[in-house]
Every structure is written in structure tokens, then in C-alpha cells.
Amino acid sequence: MHRNTTTRRLAGVALAATAMAGIGLATAPGASALGKDGVLETYEFGLYYNSGQAGCVFDLFNYETTFANDTFWKASGTCSGFGQTTNDNTASYWNRDTGTWWVYTDADADGAEGTLPAGYKGTASDTFKNKISSSYPYDAH
């Protein structure tokens, strides 16, 4: 009888540990950062409709080969650029990810290439302002 009780307790502890590990994974940094919801969160890369990180944002958690079917989002309230296409319509950006992001002036990592290191935010240069069409969290060339 003692062995059966011990086995049940160990099984209960193992089950609880497994459940806690699952909860830990679900709440790990970046687990909720899915992008494309109008909220630029940690571990995301954001493209803004206006200069100075103003207006609506298009937030990415992963690469995007073309912005042709993407639009600027708003989480709540109003912002300029809502519903406008992201393709060739970005004036500024903010890299809240932990690594460098690459942007390109054409779809599929073609055209001029620019790099934005972790934490960088700024207004796009003349080469990239309203010309960005794809982006990747790695060098796509």
C-alpha cells in the first residue's frame, strides 16, 4: 500500500511539473508577439505610415516576402494610414527585436537593401522612404 501511495504522489508531482512547464512556455517572451495586430511589441519589427514612428504601424514577428497584400493596422483609436497598403508606403520604422532586420525596396528581397540593428528606430532615408516592399530578420541574399 505504501508503494502505491508513493507512486501516485510521484505521478502527481510529474503531472504538475509538466503543466507548469507548459505554462512557462506559453508565457515566455515573444510567445504572444505574433505581429500584424497594430501593436509593436518586444521581439517585433514595425513599419510606420508616417515619419518619426507616427501613424499606424505594420508590426512583424517574422519575414514578409511582399507587402502587396498588407495594410497598416490600429490597435485602438485612430491613426493616420489605417487600411493603407504597407507596400511602398512606409516612412519610418522601429526594430524592437533582439537582432538585425533587413528591408528591401522590392518584393522577395530584391532592390536596394538596408539593415536595421536591434533597438534602432528612425525615419527612412530617401532610398527607402515609401519604397520598402519586403523585410526579413536575416540577410535574404
For residues 1 and 23, membership in a common domain is answered with: yes
| DSSP per position, 51-109 | TTTEEEEEEESS-BS--TT-B-B-SSS--TTTT-BSTT---EEEE-SSS-EEEEEETTT
For residues 62 and 131, membership in a common domain is answered with: yes
For residue 75, what pLDDT is reported? 84
For residue 21, what pLDDT is reported? 44
Q: 112 in a domain, yes or no?
A: yes
Q: 101 in a domain, yes or no?
A: yes
For residues 86 and 23, membership in a common domain is answered with: no
Predicted TM-score (pTM) of the model is 0.76
For residues 14 and 67, membership in a common domain is answered with: no
Of 11, 8, 85, 72, nearest to 46 by C-alpha is 72
Question: pLDDT below 70 — which residues of the chain?
Answer: 1-33
Q: How far apart are CA 107 and CA 136, in angstroms?
A: 11
For residue 33, what pLDDT is reported? 53
Cell of 48: 510606420
CATH number of the domain where residue 128 is located: 2.60.20.10
pLDDT tens for each residue of 73-114: 988 888 999 999 999 999 999 999 999 999 999 999 999 999
SS3 3: helix
Q: How far apart are CA 49 and CA 138, in angstroms?
A: 23
For residue 34, what pLDDT is reported? 77
For residues 67 and 121, membership in a common domain is answered with: yes
The tally of domains found in the chain comes to 2
For residues 11 and 62, membership in a common domain is answered with: no
For residues 67 and 111, membership in a common domain is answered with: yes
Per-residue buried b or exposed e for 12-22, using 16+ beta carbons within 10 Å of the residue's own CB: eeeeeeeeeee
Residues of the domain holding 17: 1-31
Q: How far apart are CA 141 and CA 132, in angstroms?
A: 16
Which H helix or E strand runs over 27?
Answer: none
Q: 85 in a domain, yes or no?
A: yes
For residues 51 and 120, membership in a common domain is answered with: yes
